[in-house]
Amino acid sequence: MKNKCELVWEKCLLIIKDNINLQSYKTWFEPIKPVNLEKDVITIQVPSQFFYEWLEEHYVTLLRKTIKRIIGETAKLEYQIVMDNNSQNGKSGKPAVIKYPNYSEGAKKYNEMNTAYGFESPMIKNPFVIPGLKKISVDSQLNPNYTFESYIEGDCNRLARSAGIAVSKAPGATAFNPLVLYGGVGLGKTHLAQAIGNYVKAHNSNKVVLYVSSEKFTNQFIDALKNNSVNDFVHFYQVIDVLIIDDIQFFSNKAKTQDIFFHIFNHLHQSGKQLILTSDRPPKDLEGMEERLLSRFKWGLSADLSMPDFETRIAILENKMNADGILIPKEVVEFVAYNIKSNIRELEGVLISLLAQSSLTKQDITIDLAKKIVANFVKSVSKEISIDTIQKVVCEHLEIPLDKLKAKTRKREVVQARQLSMFFAKEFTNSSLKAIGGHFGGRDHSTVIHSCQAVKNLVDTDEDFRDTVEELKKRIQLTV
């Protein structure tokens, strides 16, 4: 049978539950245990100092009004905190009674420190500061080169980029909180995450933005444990407006790190702050993670970044060339884009290698040089056949002047040569239908489609034509 204290606290919980969202109620009020009720003073037990501080900072008004409504105007609240090994009394597991009025001065100092953002108060240590340096500030740790302008959009990343732009314009105020960006190595997760941070910094000078890798976060937490400064560590992260954590999969099987990040996550999320996380896999596939943390990762939006298609890879290379003032022949760019398909990092690596090799050996950047460089990045290099080569082979074999392919003439032999060239261009190159049509006097994609279908129909019905197609195919393949 429940005692009077428990019954009174249940009545308090009914009121509290009606005034906050369900998730906040489960996180911050369900773990509380009513301990004692003596006259007009109710004592409740909370699991940690951090828990106690959170209640006092965010729910003190609600608690005060509730207990006065249930117990009376003279009602007071006391806490019992289960102290850990780092507590002041040094006795693990021994509850210590902290009276609610004693917190007011500490809360005042804490809030003043948070407002300043400079962390010059000795109460809190900035884990990003090198020991010995007097100046303490929040360095965003962002790479200024990672911007939306330098992030090429394609089908592979359109959703993620659009969500990133929405978040950057209204951090913490969209449904995309947290925003989880996931995908394989070198697909632009870090670039996009930091682009959001750079945009927020540029347009909201009052926002504190921080980028940190999961490895650095973990190491900082370990240092905080060694130095008995976990509260400082937590408080530092509590005042961040936009927190970007890179590679959260490395939190796997690190129970204490996950636990402290869980509390930081809750604080930031419920305070309307923005969280951006990156991972090499979707949240549902993360192993070694606490379920309560995984469920929070799924609150917002999970957007994947896949391998860029050919056109996007071309655009990425051209953007890099324009940014660096580099000029590389179009056929070389197409060759690199066609053969490097795994990730963007390798694309840029080939480009840098090409420039270095060309500069050191004093030779022009050609297809042959590109083949040598690409061979160091991939096991087998796909042979690149250009549309110009196809046109030349077809015209030589059918004895048709090359310039006729681009002319408007409707002579049967020229039309057939043009259709064959378009057919092989579609088969041997990765060019779009529009790009193929452009090589034949600016014809549109429907003409290319019609030409390819015409060749296929003749192959099925005309044996001599089929032999011509096979012969041309062999000749084109011998050119590489």
pLDDT tens, residue by residue, 328-383: 888 888 888 877 777 787 777 888 888 777 777 777 788 778 777 777 766 544 45
Residue 81: name the closest of 49, 56, 108 by CA: 49
How many C-beta neighbours within 10 Å does residue 221 have?
A: 22
pLDDT of residue 107: 40
pLDDT of residue 243: 95
Q: Region 10-20: what's the mean pLDDT?
A: 88
Q: How far apart are CA 346 and CA 337, in angstroms?
A: 10
Contacts of 269 (CB under 8 A, 6+ apart): 177, 178, 275, 296, 299
Q: Region 59-83: what's the mean pLDDT?
A: 85
Contacts of 205 (CB under 8 A, 6+ apart): none
Q: How far apart are CA 213 and CA 232, in angstroms?
A: 19
How many C-beta neighbours within 10 Å does residue 46 have?
A: 22
Q: How far apart are CA 201 and CA 207, in angstroms?
A: 7
pLDDT tens, residue by residue, 74-120: 888 888 876 544 434 444 445 555 444 433 343 443 344 344 333 33
pLDDT tens, residue by residue, 433-465: 988 998 898 898 999 999 999 999 999 998 889
CB neighbour burial string for 125-144, b if at least 16 within 10 angstroms, e if fewer: bbbbbeeeeeeeebebbbee
Q: How far apart are CA 53 and CA 78, in angstroms?
A: 13
The domains located in the chain, with CATH, are 4-113 (3.30.300.180), 158-305 (3.40.50.300), 310-375 (1.10.8.60), 387-478 (1.10.1750.10)
Determine contact, residues 181/277, Cβ cutoff 8 Å: yes
More confident residue, 418 or 321: 418
Q: Region 407-421: what's the mean pLDDT?
A: 90
